Structure 1
Amino acid sequence: MRLYRYLTGPDDASFCHRVSAALNQGWSLYEAPTLTYDPEAKRVICGQAIVKEVEGKDYSPDLDLSRQ
């Protein structure tokens, strides 16, 4: 099965660590990251799509994607 996640968060080291952790758990980057500005919080928000192939399992909407 192929899984998809979209990570978002402030453009800071913690976001980069979340993406790095996912890459080290077998996820792959999917296309380019996105950026937008939150004028209320006065900060940049990042987004990065990631995908992962998981053998031997079937997709279910009940899956906890953060644990795959």
Structure 2
Amino acid sequence: MKVYRYLTGKDDAAFCHRVTDALNRGWQLYGQPTLTFDQLRGEVICGQVITKDVEGKTYDPEMDLSKL
């Protein structure tokens, strides 16, 4: 089964740590990162798609993809 996540967050070290953690748990980057500016908050927001192949699982909409 292939799973998909789209990580988003403020452009800061915490966002980079989330992506790094996912990569070290077997997720792979997919496509280019995205950036946008939130005028209300006055900050840059990042987005990065990650995917992972998971053996022996069947998709269930109730599963917590962040735990895979």
TM-score normalised to structure 1 length: 0.98
CA–CA distance in 1 between the matches of 2:3 and 2:30? Answer: 11
Provide the residue aligned with 2:51 in structure 1.
51
Identity of aligned residues (%): 63
Q: Give the partner amino acid of 1:60.
A: D
CA–CA distance in 2 between the matches of 1:25 and 1:62? Answer: 21
Provide the residue aligned with 1:12 in structure 2.
12
Matches within 5 A, 1:55-66: 55-66=55-66
Secondary structure at the counterpart of residue 37 of structure 1: strand
Provide the residue aligned with 1:2 in structure 2.
2
Q: Give the partner amino acid of 2:13.
A: A
What's the Cα RMSD here? 0.4
Secondary structure at the counterpart of residue 18 of structure 2: helix
Specify every segment of 5 or more residues in structure 1 that has no aligned partner in the other structure, as ranges. none
The count of corresponding residues between Structure 1 and Structure 2 is: 68
Provide the residue aligned with 2:24 in structure 1.
24
TM-score normalised to structure 2 length: 0.98
Give the 4+ runs in structure 1 shifted more than 2 A.
Answer: none
CA–CA distance in 1 between the matches of 2:2 and 2:59? Answer: 8
Specify every segment of 5 or more residues in structure 2 that has no aligned partner in the other structure, as ranges. none
CA–CA distance in 2 between the matches of 1:63 and 1:30? Answer: 21
